[in-house]
Chain A
């Protein structure tokens, strides 16, 4: 935006004559600068409104839970609710553990070794939410179908997970998530 004319006056003559373009471009600059600041201000003013829709402090503070797992027999599982989500706790049989460990990483859509998904091989702890669109997969109860890979099967769009909760078939992109947890004792785990 170079100013070619020394005459920066705003008189009618300047507007009407050959200086029109110059004057207009200075005006344009002011208009654009003011408009830009208005847009910026409006954008900043939106932040509190938009952010008020994010999880509130009490939702974020949702406490951790302790779960007694002493009654779960090998081959069984249980479902508990943590942060409004189901958490699967399965006590795996030696065959299931072997199955999970022998799967070759090259066959996996979301490659991860079984040992990186458990703290004690016998206990598999997972967030029970299908990574496709959020349904709760079947398979924690022994009476439910577990799908082709003997882990879990999501009835919504047919995702199948293995005995390590890894995605093996269907539209889900990633493995079932492992929540933060630790063993308080041999029979109690703390989730969260």
Chain B
């Protein structure tokens, strides 16, 4: 942003910028923005997530023009989008698979942060804002999945809203309040649509805070060292081109899903209209919720399961204080590196167990993985912070390469 009393520059942009410094702002934050020169492709997922958010808002906007949020019309209106609305099928498949893509990209983005210690000082708030975005995304995706009003929509909504009934004393009143009735019904569908429309714009706002926090101290980098001035290059053209290349690769993969296997990640049960009197034999949430669902089911106690599930996300936010090791990057932490990969495998196993019926071996594996999740966060990371000897650190980014 140019200083308020800098002289007006020539031309239309100069005239505008003198009055509303929007171009100066973009120039500073998107062109000149000094970025460490050694960022790997693991740094692509942030801008990719932002672009997917825009794709979701755009496709959602056009879906909403043909969608009817009422229990007797919702299912049919989505079928009409699929069959009668011009390119309606494309809009819906982009939107449905876009939600999955959004979570893939955000989970990879988070894994990057976990490995390179991007949550450590001075980026704690940046990380916590990210966890807030994850929660908002979960709420948004959950409510979006209710809108087509199929069997999975209905029963997913029922089971998840009922989680709040585990709260002592006021739980049942909260659930009735969430529903606006005595079961998931028309008032519920209506408010879910309104909130599903609203929350993405809240996410957009919070993502801006995320960017402000990021640009205050700049990006972390694979060495985890503070980048010196000579280790930085302007964002444009170096990272604009790299991000665009990544976007191209992403779009190819995304198109494979949208055009060839658009229902691969969905559930056939959701093409059956909601029936409040019959629960499908095997209800599971969307894949991106499965690890948390496995944690929920790991304890045979209602309140315990719910607390553990929310606790697992709360621990993510507390990460900067659980891992206090002075070295940021996993690259120079031989032990941490091993546990990091164990954590990743464990998270995948949790997801796998969450998709299986809660019985026998599946339940046992779910329980073991849940235990490890908490042990990793509450025991392994604090112990490593105290006792792990890092391998020798390079003196600077230039010296590292």
Contacts and interface: CB of A to CB of B under 8 A. Distances in A.
A173 B181 contact: no
Nearest to A82: B182
A135 B278 CA distance: 8
Interface in B356-396: 357-359
Nearest to B297: A157
A155 B276 CA distance: 15
A53 B181 contact: no
A173 B359 contact: no
Interface in A19-55: 50, 53-55
Contacts of B359: 158
Nearest to B276: A84
Interface string A57-88: 00100100000000000000001010111100
Interface stretch (B101-109, B279-287, B329-337): B279-287
Interface residues of B, number: 34
Interface residues of A, number: 29
Given A81-B277, A84-B276, A136-B279, 7 more contacts: A50-B177, A55-B181, A56-B187, A59-B185, A156-B279, A170-B300, A171-B300
B302 A173 contact: yes
A11 B322 CA distance: 52
Interface in A116-148: 128-129, 132-136
B176 interface: yes
Interface of B: 155, 158-159, 161-163, 165, 176-183, 185, 187, 191, 276-279, 281-283, 297, 299-302, 305, 357-359
B177 A53 contact: yes
Contacts of B282: 155
B296 to A, nearest CB: 9
Contact of A83 (B161, B183, B279): B183
* Among B163, B176, B279, residue most surrounded by chain A Cβ atoms (within 10 Å): B279
* Among B177, B181, B191, B278, residue most surrounded by chain A Cβ atoms (within 10 Å): B181
Contacts of B279: 135-136, 154-156
A54 B276 contact: no
26 contacts: A54-B176, A54-B177, A55-B182, A56-B187, A81-B277, A83-B181, A84-B181, A84-B183, A128-B277, A132-B162, A132-B302, A133-B159, A134-B158, A134-B161, A134-B165, A135-B158, A135-B279, A135-B283, A136-B277, A155-B279, A155-B281, A155-B283, A156-B283, A171-B305, A172-B302, A173-B302
